[in-house]
Chain A
């Protein structure tokens, strides 16, 4: 007879643990506090996912309603924040609304390959060298947000989670039910896409 048992999965006691415990043990009106904690983060995430502000509002509402519905099943196996984004991502993917801005096409690595010999740069462009805080003004932030929205959804979701929200590769993979290598592939293409657009912006506008 073996003494080995299924180890009980470790519970992650993050900053939301106590609040969720309270909600799940009957203090449901505290759910508003949980919403308050995350509404601004989710608002920005949804705006970047949906582009249309009213779609973004729908996405946040649906996400929080789903969170409320399923909170009893939350087992603290990840941080609550990660679970919240998982709910948000699946809420967003279920809305099968086709975006006219970002058709769901594949991005291939080939389309971003460095230019031909003839066009190869012989120096690093200024925008990659100057201090970041001098470079990143409101206009550029707008360009970045607008460019991200033109990415096909599956790439957009990954670059948002990794580079905007700051989740790790492993966390993003869990949130999206993808393999880590799949996350990496999508992230790389999304970044290369954005880099191309930024290059265009800096070369044409200055």
Chain B
């Protein structure tokens, strides 16, 4: 059992719905404050928020692969066929 139970499942759901907007800074000040307050008192929601933040950060940092030379050449040839030479 968790000790203090001033945490209400309804707040968890409200927060859960808005997490992405929170992470993206798309919420107003009051809503952000509410979310932060809840997260400070609810480990489950705090954990959910941190893992979602991390998920987003990972996506933003995944590196691109270089385009294969061979394909780049092929693409050039295809376009040369279509684009008339001036």
User: Which A residues have a C-beta under 8 Å from some C-beta of B?
Assistant: 26-29, 31-32, 35, 39-41, 43-44, 47, 57, 60-61, 64-65, 68, 109, 113-115, 120-125, 127-129, 132, 135-136, 140-141, 144-145, 159, 163-164, 166, 169, 184, 187-188, 191-192, 194-195, 198-199
Contact = CB atoms under 8 A, between A and B. Distances in A.
B64 interface: yes
B78 A61 contact: yes
A163 to B, nearest CB: 4
B65 interface: yes
A120 B62 contact: no
Interface size class of B (residues with CB under 8 A): 35 or more
B79 interface: yes
Contacts of B79: 31-32, 35, 64-65, 68
A57 to B, nearest CB: 6
23 contacts: A28-B84, A28-B85, A47-B65, A57-B71, A109-B17, A114-B45, A124-B47, A125-B47, A127-B51, A128-B50, A132-B57, A132-B58, A144-B58, A144-B59, A159-B59, A163-B56, A164-B59, A164-B60, A184-B26, A191-B55, A192-B52, A198-B54, A198-B55
A89 to B, nearest CB: 18
Interface string B54-85: 11111111111111000110111011101111
Interface in B1-40: 12-13, 16-17, 19-21, 24, 26
Contacts of A194: 55, 59
Contacts of B63: 141
A68 B84 CA distance: 11
Contact of B64 (A29, A44, A61, A115): A44
Q: Is chain B's binding surface mostly helix, strand, loop or mixed? A: helix
A121 B75 contact: no
A13 to B, nearest CB: 24
Nearest to A60: B75
B56 A35 contact: no
Given A68-B82, A113-B13, A132-B57, A199 B62 contact: no
Given A132-B57, A184-B26, A65 B44 contact: no
Contact of A132 (B45, B46, B61): B61
A124 B84 contact: no
Given A28-B83, A135-B58, A144-B59, A129 B75 contact: no
Given A128-B54, A163-B59, 13 more contacts: A39-B67, A39-B72, A44-B64, A113-B16, A115-B44, A122-B43, A123-B43, A124-B43, A141-B62, A144-B62, A187-B20, A192-B52, A198-B58
B61 to A, nearest CB: 6
